[in-house]
Amino acid sequence: MTDRSHSPSLASPSNPRIRAAARLRARPEREASGMTLVDGAREIRRAIDAGVEVIEAFICEPLLAGEDARVVLDALRASTTPVNSTSETAFAKVAFGSRTEGLVAVIKIPSLKLDRLEVMDGPLIAVIEAVEKPGNIGAVIRTADGAGADAVIAASPRTDLMNPNVIRASAGTIFSARIATAPTDQVRHWLEANGIRIVAARVDAPRSYTDADLTGPVAIVLGAEDRGLGEGWSGPDVEAVRLPMLGVADSLNVSVTAAVLLYEARRQRDRPTHEG
Amino acid sequence: MTDRSHSPSLASPSNPRIRAAARLRARPEREASGMTLVDGAREIRRAIDAGVEVIEAFICEPLLAGEDARVVLDALRASTTPVNSTSETAFAKVAFGSRTEGLVAVIKIPSLKLDRLEVMDGPLIAVIEAVEKPGNIGAVIRTADGAGADAVIAASPRTDLMNPNVIRASAGTIFSARIATAPTDQVRHWLEANGIRIVAARVDAPRSYTDADLTGPVAIVLGAEDRGLGEGWSGPDVEAVRLPMLGVADSLNVSVTAAVLLYEARRQRDRPTHEG
């Protein structure tokens, strides 16, 4: 795993392939190319497991560590995917975040079109509107995976779902999740067309979430960190719910709100019928 | 709020007071001095509201914004606390994080001794063991505030509770919260001595958290991001519970786990007696 005698094939940080990959940190470049970066062995492993197309990979042998890294390398080397050994200096151009495991992949972005999202029977869906922080978006996707939600939809997102930091914060669960993105009006229309009830988290809602029915086809809608839900989520067919706020703060982090609501939905869905 | 004609009293980043405050970013300096930094208008406002002693403040007038900033400045100027106007260059030495509001305070660290923690009647307590990321610690404290938990205890912490990034991530709720820190064995002894049941979150627990009784005096114990709970939380008097994990991931972020458990405890505590 730490074969330092191995001569890196890409030693210079100004190598054109390193520079091309590094440019994928920028959203316009991701959107123009249809590609993004995945940093981390666990994340790349989950991309491969989900059948995502890996275009090329960069490895930095001295940094490689862990079982996931070994599995990923074996899978990549058994495939036709180009695997580029790099120097630490070159690797630093494509890696990001505080923790690095010596593996970064360039992948093809899967379709995120809402009209391609498969409608499940009686689905539990998380909708996040205009959320900006990649860490929060990724955390919602990871929690939705744990709680068994059927899909996560980003309505009018300020950060694209394929931002490398979203992928990282999702722990790679984004690849197996059903995800889509569309403007808020289209998301709302899609929910209505598919007979999915809308339960919106609002700090000023009169009703506690524990009094809401979160069974059946339901979308839990969460607004941005700084401004909450927009006007697109009002009307008689939107049920607003709040979390009790018993301390000095007036709101919770959006990923925390999502976790409480999604796991309450899971609890209600799993409990024996007619229990209170 | 943006009086650019105001001449900063501390213009140089190498000013001794700026440098002394900046050193408080380091844990040894905080522990030696008994002081820490608070960045952000909302956070400083909550410190003042909670009666925390503010030793001095640094303001950068061109950056000041918002109602909280105005309230804080008025409160500081009506007090005997020294308020230093700084240049943007000097301010950058004491500010941190991506969002800055032109206000940083140096405060006296309150006592975090466990034996000084007030024992409430039938308390709900969150215990986090060996958690490292300041953002996670702060998020747990903010959630505990919302869910109406009575205290948060850091057992054998790897990051001190008064790390400026913990304060920031707690949105300043750390100042009104009852918090304490001690080695794990002392925390466990304290819980037992006070008749507080221990419910520990473990990914491999046989029982779902929804089947656990979270009413009465109970401590919800959560382990670190990377290694879970240590050996100090085993034994017949520890009830292990898990969250359902229905997707590809095997664990959730510690602050997400805390949120689900604390709000489920709140739900159980608030529901009408004899409901299911």
User: Element (H or E) spanning B197, and its range?
Assistant: strand B197-201
Q: Flag the least confident range among A9-13, A221-225, A262-266, B160-164.
A: A9-13
B151-155 and B179-182 strand pairing: parallel
Span A2-27, average pLDDT: 78
How big is the CA angle at B106 (ends B104 and B111), to the nearest 5 degrees?
Answer: 135
A25 and A133 both lie in a single domain: no
Statement to judge: residues B123 and B209 lie in one domain: yes
Is B256–A252 a contact, with Cβ atoms under 8 angstroms apart?
Answer: no
Instruction: Based on the fold, state whether residues B44 and B174 are members of the same structural domain.
Output: no
ipTM: 0.92
Tell me which H or E stretch contains B57.
strand B54-59
Residue B275 maps to a domain: no
B2 within a domain of the structure (yes/no): no
* Count of CB atoms situated within 10 Å of the CB of B157: 22
Cα–Cα dist B131/B140, whole Å: 10
Q: Are residues A130 and A263 in the same domain?
A: yes
| Domain annotation covers residue A5 | no
How many angstroms separate the CA atoms of B36 and B101, rounded?
Answer: 18
Please state, rounded to an integer, the average pLDDT across all residues of chain A. 92
Does the residue A8 lie in any domain? no
Tell me, yes or no, whether B276 lies in a domain.
no
Tell me: do A97 and A153 sit in the same domain: no
B200 forms beta bridges with B221, B240
| B104 and B124 in a common domain | no
Q: Which residue has the higher pLDDT, A9 or B16?
A: B16
Q: Are residues B214 and B87 located together in one domain of the fold?
A: no
Distance from CA of A234 to the nearest CA of B (A): 25
Subunit contact B259:A264, Cβ cutoff 8 A:
no
Residue with structure tokens 């410190």? B47
- Do the Cβ atoms of B244 and A147 come within 8 Å? yes
> Which residues of chain A have a CB within 8 Å of the CB of B172?
248-249
Q: Among the three residues B108, B124, B159, which one is the final residue of a domain in this structure? A: B108
Number of domains chain A contains? 2
Chain B residues at the A interface, defined by Cβ less than 8 Å, are: 46, 49, 139, 142-148, 171-173, 176-177, 210, 243-249, 252-253, 255-256, 259-260, 263-264, 266-267, 270-271, 275-276
Q: Contacts of residue A132 in chain B, CB cutoff 8 Å?
A: none
pLDDT category, A2, cuts 50, 70, 90?
very low
Of B73, B88, B108, which marks where a domain is finished?
A: B108
Per-residue pLDDT reduced to its tens digit, B168-214: 999 999 999 999 999 999 999 999 999 999 999 999 999 999 999 99
Is there a single domain that holds both residue B75 and residue B130? no
Which CATH number characterizes residue B33's domain?
3.30.1330.30
- Note the pLDDT of residue A106: 97
Residue A275 belongs to a domain:
no
Q: Tell me: do A60 and A188 sit in the same domain.
A: no
- pLDDT at residue number A12: 85
**Residue A196 falls within a domain, yes or no?**
yes
Confidence of residue A6 (pLDDT cuts 50, 70, 90): very low
Region of residue A135 (left: phi > 0; alpha: psi -120 to 50; beta: else): alpha
Q: B266 to chain A: which residues are within 8 Å by CB? A: 244, 246
Task: Determine the Cα angle at A211 with ends A207 and A212, to 5°.
Answer: 90
pLDDT at B2: 41
**Does A150 share its domain with A81?**
no
For residues A89 and A58, the answer to whether their CB atoms sit within 8 Å is: no
Cβ-contact A139, A173 below 8 angstroms = no
pLDDT per position as a tens digit, A221-244: 999 877 889 989 999 999 999 999
Chain B residues whose beta carbon lies within 8 Å of the beta carbon of residue A133: none
Which of A93, A108, A123 is where one domain is finished? A108
Q: Do residues B252 and B225 lie in contact, with contact meaning Cβ atoms separated by under 8 Å?
A: no
pLDDT in tens, A53-77: 999 999 999 998 888 899 999 999 9
CA distance B233 to B229: 7
B124 and B240 in a single domain? The answer is: yes
Tell me the residue range of the domain where B163 lies: 114-270
pLDDT of residue A273: 63
Q: Which residues of chain B have pLDDT under 50?
A: 1-6, 275-276
Q: Is residue B1 part of a domain?
A: no
**pLDDT at residue A5 above 50?**
no
Could you tell me the pLDDT band of residue A274, with boundaries at 50, 70 and 90?
Answer: low
HSE-CB of B260 using CA atoms within 13 angstroms: 30
Interhelix angle B67-77/B41-49, rounded to 10 degrees, is 50
For residue B41, give how far its alpha carbon lies from the nearest alpha carbon of chain A (Å): 14
In this prediction, residue A10 has a pLDDT band, given cuts at 50, 70 and 90, of confident
> What CATH number does the domain containing A175 carry?
3.40.1280.10
Q: What is the model's pTM?
A: 0.93
> In terms of domains, do B152 and B254 share one?
yes
